Amino acid sequence: MEPGARPLLALCLAGCLLATGCRGAQGRFAYKLLHDLFANYSSALRPVEDTDRALNVTLQVTLSQIIDMDERNQVLTSYLWVRQAWLDAHLTWDKDAYDGIDSIRIPSSYVWRPDIILYNNADDRFGGSMETNVVLRSDGHIMWDSPAITKSSCKVDVSYFPFDGQRCRLTFGSWTYNGNQIDLRNQLDTGDLTDFVENVEWEVLGMPATRNVITYGCCSEPYPDVTYTLLLRRRASFYIFNLLLPCIMVSFLAPLGFYLPADSGEKVSLGVTVLLALTVFQLLVAESMPPSESVPLIGKYYIATMTMITASTALTIFIMNVHHCGPGARPVPPWARWLILHHMARLCCVYEVGESCKSPRRMPGGRVDRGDAGGPGESPMEGEVGAESGGCPRDHCVCHHDGLLRNVGYIAGCFRRHRASQRRTGEWKKVAKVMDRFFMWVFFLMVFLMSVLVLGKAA
């Protein structure tokens, strides 16, 4: 070792020993300070010099996380950091007498603590704050920071679910000390949200704080409290994609039941299937909502849609009866012919249903083939028979001619009755088809308007 390095090494060793001794001395001073402070101290009494004066306690709440919002039981579970500060007149010292120690951290059970609790607590265990240390300063100021998982009652209004917002209150106050003994005040005008962990379902809009002084019926003294109002807005994307859009898509299937052919046999079964699907969605919503007088918006939409589908199924049954009325039905009334077959058919773009709805056909001679020509003189078969029988002697063909005329007349009558029956059946089928198309567009419009009204609440 170089001769010049020895003094430097000795100086370093002396500095280390001096620093170690200082730290050891400061530890002894801290132990002595703790012993001196609590030699004659009692944590059971309110630490004031004048018992007639109120002790000022300031409160500040930091929202760290929203753990759960139970809408059915109306309970909000949150993770809070609660800071309380007050002045203890019996825990002061001269920091110069204790090697400059200005503050110490000791268990909170050593000192007097205000019995500040959550008034609207909904926890069955009534758990308080965690037993953490307090920071005690030489001038007697005590600051107590403690985390707490709280369950608070929150009145939930689900009228506009899933586009709703909630206002949950957290009311803190002393349980036994009135306003003449503890003056509770909020440190800031709002709760601290700087360390808030975002929730997937709820968006926090704010947390204003207000101080209230209330005189309860049990006591004549006023009791101050600090109320933090947590302003929440639901993130509706999950419910839109999982409950609302499937319902809208299923609802648009109901009007398509009118478009199905009546002979398919699936018109009524489609309406019943859609009704059962909406019932399942309704039960899913009802399980998560609290039983209250206010029906949620999505529940109103489900009820309106189910009512519409029930009405469409009933109308489908009625229209199928019209379609299958059969050849023995009476002719279509004139008012129905004028309103449905002429005007509504054009409005709904229904031009023909089978043979009876075709336009009259023009024959080569310019005549109109209406298919209902009657009378022996109008029948081409009868003319042919007459022409054929014109060359036959009267005495030989008169009996044969009369019998043939009777047979031809009977066949023509059957043919006319058959054509009239087909025409009536075709007209009733056309009435049913026009009503199907008309109600299809009406119900499409109703589903569209209801969907727009519900989704418009999201804007």
10-residue averages of pLDDT along the chain (459 residues): 42 38 65 90 90 93 94 91 94 91 92 93 73 93 94 89 91 92 93 93 95 85 94 90 85 82 78 86 78 76 86 83 69 74 73 46 43 40 42 55 75 73 72 82 87 74
| Dihedral sign for Cα atoms in the order 213, 214, 220, 221 | negative
d(CA 141, CA 137): 5
CA distances from 333 to 172, 224, 318 (A): 77, 81, 17
Within the chain, how many helices (H) and strands (E) appear? Answer: 10, 13
265: left (phi over 0), alpha (psi -120 to 50) or beta: left
Task: Decide if 142 contacts 110 (C-beta within 8 A).
Answer: no
User: Does residue 389 contact residue 404 with C-beta atoms inside 8 Å?
Assistant: yes
pLDDT at residue 127, rounded to an integer? 58
**pLDDT at res. 207:** 96
Helices (H), 191-343: 237-239, 245-251, 253-256, 267-288, 297-323, 334-336
CB 51 within 8 A of CB 58: no
Reported pTM: 0.70
pLDDT at position 305, please? Answer: 86
Is the Cα dihedral 427, 432, 437, 439 positive or negative? positive
233: nearest Cα among 200, 205, 194: 205
C-alpha 34/C-alpha 52 separation (Å) is: 29
pLDDT score of 298: 82
H or E element, residue 383? helix 380-390
| Nearest to 41, CA basis, from 116, 136, 132 | 136
- Are the beta carbons of 433 and 344 closer than 8 angstroms? no
Residue 451: the pLDDT is 83
Specify whether the CB–CB gap between 54 and 180 falls below 8 A.
yes
Residue 367: count of CB within 10 angstroms of its CB: 10
